[in-house]
Amino acid sequence: MENERTTGPATALIRGQQPGSPCLVMTGTSGYSYLEWVDSGFYPPGTRSAAMLEFYGRSFSVVELNYTWYQMARSDVLTRMLAAAPAHIIFAAKLTRTVTHEREEDWREQVRRYRQGISALGKRLAAILVQLPPDFDRTVSNRRFLAELLDYLQGMPVAVEFRHASWAVDTVFSELERRQITLVSVDEPDLPGLFPRLDVVTNPALFYVRFHGRNSKGWKHGNMQKKFDYDYSEQELHQWCEHELGPLSSRASRGIIFFNNHVRAQAPRNALLLNSLIGRKTARSRR
């Protein structure tokens, strides 16, 4: 059955709990510029990095920019990228590492520079992803830092991804709700200490899901090629659709779902598979 397409490929409108309040769900991948995706056949042979986004846009309508984590968001770089991007694509962008993972004394200045740079995306910015490091636990000083960081990002669409289990408490969720900030739902291995899989929605404007893969063995390896080497089965994604998607989509008007298991182009394959499953689910519920 054909998926209902709205603004572009890999999008679906799901009926919400309230009549007349559908949720637009878009799937995509974390990053798009991977040389091995050429080798794996997702991009045609010989595709150059600068042309990848155009090909990506034939399959997806949303992408998570991860290079803004490696380098400070710069308006000249993003303007060049936008010029080559298909018009229907919207973006989520990771906050730079010098604010989250390698915080420096001048992080406030870095946030200011980031805001300035990322503004080049204009209305095509779906969310700024604040990914916090695994050892960032819920201490008083970390809570203070996060509160101040969110203050500095006020006015921007923000999603927060915790990786330490200590943040999975109601007071955190209610504070995010008060600030209208999205809590990122993660799908990752069942390992002690990791942030649990939750279907909590803290921002009615957006839910945000990241599929990291369930590679328990490779998770602590430190090498991305091992950590994110996982291929979701149709059954796993079907189960997620049946149990997790409903609660998320019923409480938000828009949802973005990213696959981070980039190794051997598993991410785009799984994203397309999930999208077709969502399409089938939508068609079933419409009958």
**Residues binding another protein (CB under 8 A):** 31, 33-36, 38-39, 45-46, 48-51, 67, 70-72, 76-77, 80, 83-84, 97, 102, 223-225, 262
CB of 258 to another protein, least distance (A): 16
CB of 156 to another protein, least distance (A): 23
Describe the crossing of helices 49-56 and 75-84 by its angle, rounded to 10 degrees: 60
CB of 60 to another protein, least distance (A): 18
Tokens of 282: 């939508």
8-state DSSP, 194: B
Select 5 or 80, whichever has its Cβ closest to another protein.
80
CB of 84 to another protein, least distance (A): 8
63: Cβ–Cβ under 8 A, 6 or more apart, which residues? Answer: 28, 29, 31, 32, 53, 56, 89, 91, 92
Alpha-carbon gap, residue 82 to 117, rounded angstroms: 13
Select 207 or 219, whichever has its Cβ closest to another protein.
219
CB of 214 to another protein, least distance (A): 19
Calculate the alpha carbon distances from 151 to 4, 108, 111, 137, 259 in Å.
Answer: 38, 11, 11, 19, 29
Select 27 or 68, whichever has its Cβ closest to another protein.
68
Alpha-carbon gap, residue 198 to 71, rounded angstroms: 30
Select 24 or 77, whichever has its Cβ closest to another protein.
77
Residue 127, helix vs strand vs coil: strand
Select 19 or 222, whichever has its Cβ closest to another protein.
222
Pairing of strands 23-30, 11-14: antiparallel
